[in-house]
Structure 1
Amino acid sequence: MKILITGSNGFLGSNLVSYFMKKNRYEIYCTSRNPLKVRNSNTIYGDLREISFVKNLFEQIKPDVVINTVSLVDLDLCEENPSLAYDLTVKTGRNIAQCASEYNSRLAYISTDHLFDGNKSMYTEKEKTNPVNQYGKMKFEAENVSCKYNEDTIVIRTNFFGWSHINHPDTFGEWVYKSLKSKKAINLFTDYYFTPIEVTYLAEAIEKAIEKDITGVLNIVGSQRCSKYEFGMKLADLAGMDKSLINPCSLNDGIMTLKTKRQQDLSMSSEKYKALFGHSLPDLNENILRFLGNKDR
């Protein structure tokens, strides 16, 4: 099976490249605008905003599956420059979906949990979307164009953490770990909820999803809802670090100022995944233990 991974220089893309390259049954191809942080000989450089490049990419590879991780993930920059966010998220998504359809390639579009207003918890795949910022709006539009232009599309909504490759900015889990390791006090929200999944667990679940050949929306997230504060406390506990370094705070108390509006509850249900595959996705304890175990890999 030929798999094309787009955005392979990003946090998720680079982790997916590393994961699938270890599997002998896949032929992995990557695309990026810049030199890869993960070594791979099957790399084609170019700009996915250019339809001519995307057409040549598909003609050259003829992939069986495309995993599209491309988007502008900087929430503040999405607000400041929505046209750039559109080009990097929606336009690239449309180009990829159109070409995937032409070449009969299955498409897995990696989406987000920033699609709802946050007024309830554990959103299912059937919930009505109501994003509160440009990032969420662009991701939802990219979901729609992916499904519109390629019927054989699975949209994967997720929230992940893990270890970055060299020269990549720290993700949330890394920032918490490194702060506590260096004895630095941090503030974490007690009222900002999510359902995080460790990135290698996510990669395993994506592999199952593309092999099962299902379409539509699928949440792949941790099975346990937690606040950012609870995440930090659990990480400190399992890593044997000083929990007193973590200061609880609220989104509403002004201790930490966020430029871009965020919903208070990003949590999503993974019951559909459980019904499809016959097992639950990992809980918070399992996710953080996997994160700690992968530190030096």
Structure 2
Amino acid sequence: MAHWRKEFSCTKHEQSNNNKVPHPQEPHPSINQPPIFGMNVIVTGAKGQLGQTLLRVLRRETDWALSAMTRSHFFTLGTMSSINPLSKASWREALATTGWHPDVIINAAAMTNVNHCETHREEAWQSNAQLAETVTQVARIFDARVVQISTDYVFDGVAGPYTEEHKPNPINYYGRTKLAAENICAHSGVHAAIVRTMWLYGYTDGLKMNFPEWVRDRLSNETHIDVINDEFGNPTLMEDLAYAVFQIIEKNISGIINVAGTERMSRLELAMAVAEAFELDSTFIHSVTADELGRTAPRPMRSGLITLKAKSLIGLQARSLKDGLMMTRTARNRNML
């Protein structure tokens, strides 16, 4: 049986503004089925930070056959097929061509740039809500399960941290699209796990930088940065999230489940921790409020996720921020050699 505290390894492998979406009714978690081995698993968003981490962790922990999907291609069994992830017909054609029958679809694809979502709403709706609908349609065809990656941005951030039972109330368009995706999955009739997470970090190896990587990059270049001191949340190591997804699949869990780091802090505190972990000069960090910084879309300011359910169902043991940042530093150093 795999354990939580593993070494970081790179081996082995909403439409209009007026649309209303109901609060999802959480399916009863099912954990009494036996583990399933030798499954066929599709990971969408395979070029993203989380997608890459999922593929790496699943290769390491399982004997499952893995396929990867990007915005335009489907990779499986050593072959590459063109695909439109928003088209059910395109999915069916690609799967028929390769003979691939998915047992699980992990939907890690999303438009996560919150300000861009606020100003490019049709694109955000397609990327976040419409894609989730297509995924569930395909899952019904193949009787496959779905793991939908979601976010704390479904909440308003007024009275966090939040459990799975708190009522969502998104305050930006990104959060509305992700809540819509949750509802689509919850009411699709497929076996779906909705995994809410937040503030992801980890080594990205040339991919789009997450917040801690951005801080490290700027401080390494001795660049002054403004960091918000009044926005709170749980930094979450992508490696821990990926392993949690593996456990959710293995234990056949459905419904909403929070997966996040155990330490809740401000963005400023996180940035200072990054400076310490990478031995960089924290005097380049300038503390500001969210109002002072000014952003296109509002954020949930006092957010956070409570993970007691995940601890009970899958034995979640998220690493401390200090350990996670050390792992990130080690992975970066190894890949820079």
Tell me if TM exceeds 0.5: yes
Kept in 2: contact 1:155–1:217 (CA 8 A): yes
Q: Residue type of the partner of 1:94?
A: E
Shift of the 102–171 alpha-carbon distance from structure 1 to 2, 3 Å rule, reads same
Question: What secondary structure sits across from 1:3 in the alignment?
Answer: strand
Partner Cα separation in structure 1 for residue 279 and residue 260 of structure 2: 25
Q: Pick from 161, 172, 196: which aligns with 2:201?
A: 161
Deviation (angstroms), 1:157: 0.6
Give the aligned partner of residue 89 of structure 2.
52
Partner Cα separation in structure 2 for residue 196 and residue 40 of structure 1: 35
Kept in 1: contact 2:84–2:90 (CA 8 A): yes
**Percent of aligned pairs with the same amino acid:** 25
Is 1:282 paired with 2:322? no
Kept in 2: contact 1:218–1:273 (CA 8 A): yes
Deviation (angstroms), 1:24: 5.3
Q: Pick from 166, 176, 180: which aligns with 1:137?
A: 176
Give the aligned partner of residue 64 of structure 1.
103
Question: What secondary structure sits across from 1:154 in the alignment?
Answer: strand
Deviation (angstroms), 1:278: 3.4
Partner Cα separation in structure 2 for residue 237 and residue 81 of structure 1: 37
Partner Cα separation in structure 1 for residue 77 and residue 229 of structure 2: 41
Q: Pick from 98, 102, 105: which aligns with 2:141?
A: 102
Q: Residue type of the partner of 2:69?
A: T
Kept in 2: contact 1:123–1:269 (CA 8 A): yes
Deviation (angstroms), 1:95: 1.1
Partner Cα separation in structure 2 for residue 46 and residue 279 of structure 1: 35
- My pick for the range that moved more, 106-115 or 257-266, is 257-266
Question: What secondary structure sits across from 1:294 in the alignment?
Answer: helix
Deviation (angstroms), 1:14: 2.2
Partner Cα separation in structure 2 for residue 227 and residue 133 of structure 1: 20
RMSD: 2.1
Question: What secondary structure sits across from 1:8 in the alignment?
Answer: coil
Q: Pick from 41, 53, 58: which aligns with 1:3?
A: 41
Partner Cα separation in structure 1 for residue 121 and residue 188 of structure 2: 23
Give the aligned partner of residue 208 of structure 1.
247
Question: What secondary structure sits across from 1:180 in the alignment?
Answer: helix
Q: Residue type of the partner of 2:188?
A: Y
Give the aligned partner of residue 113 of structure 1.
152
Deviation (angstroms), 1:40: 8.2
Q: Residue type of the partner of 1:177?
A: R
Shift of the 57–79 alpha-carbon distance from structure 1 to 2, 3 Å rule, reads same
Question: What secondary structure sits across from 2:203 in the alignment?
Answer: coil
Give the aligned partner of residue 69 of structure 2.
31
Give the aligned partner of residue 292 of structure 1.
329
Partner Cα separation in structure 2 for residue 225 and residue 122 of structure 1: 9
Kept in 2: contact 1:100–1:150 (CA 8 A): no
Q: Tell me the alpha carbon deviations over residues 91-137 of structure 1, each in whole angstroms, 9 at most, x when there is no partner.
A: 11111112112211111001111011111121111000000011000
Partner Cα separation in structure 2 for residue 151 and residue 220 of structure 1: 21
Structure with the bigger RCO (C-alpha within 8 Å, sep 6+) is: 2
Is 1:170 paired with 2:180? no
Q: Pick from 82, 89, 92: which aligns with 2:131?
A: 92
Deviation (angstroms), 1:173: 1.4
Kept in 2: contact 1:28–1:42 (CA 8 A): no
Shift of the 39–172 alpha-carbon distance from structure 1 to 2, 3 Å rule, reads farther
Is 1:41 paired with 2:78? yes
Q: Pick from 265, 287, 290: which aligns with 2:302?
A: 265
Partner Cα separation in structure 2 for residue 40 and residue 55 of structure 1: 16
Kept in 2: contact 1:29–1:43 (CA 8 A): no
Deviation (angstroms), 1:231: 0.5
Partner Cα separation in structure 1 for residue 46 and residue 113 of structure 2: 17
After the TM superposition, which residues 214-229 of structure 1 pair with which residues of structure 2 at under 5 Å, given as runs? 214-229=253-268
- My pick for the range that moved more, 101-110 or 14-23, is 14-23
Deviation (angstroms), 1:153: 0.4
Gap regions ≥5 residues in structure 2:
1-38
Deviation (angstroms), 1:239: 2.0
Deviation (angstroms), 1:2: 1.1
Kept in 1: contact 2:244–2:314 (CA 8 A): no
Runs of 4+ displaced beyond 6 Å: none
Q: Residue type of the partner of 1:187?
A: D
Gap regions ≥5 residues in structure 1:
none
Give the aligned partner of residue 287 of structure 2.
248
Partner Cα separation in structure 2 for residue 68 and residue 279 of structure 1: 21
Q: Residue type of the partner of 2:90?
A: F
Q: Residue type of the partner of 1:12?
A: L
Deviation (angstroms), 1:283: 2.7
Kept in 2: contact 1:9–1:34 (CA 8 A): no
Deviation (angstroms), 1:43: 4.4
TM-score (norm: length of structure 2): 0.81
Kept in 1: contact 2:203–2:329 (CA 8 A): no
Q: Residue type of the partner of 1:162?
A: G
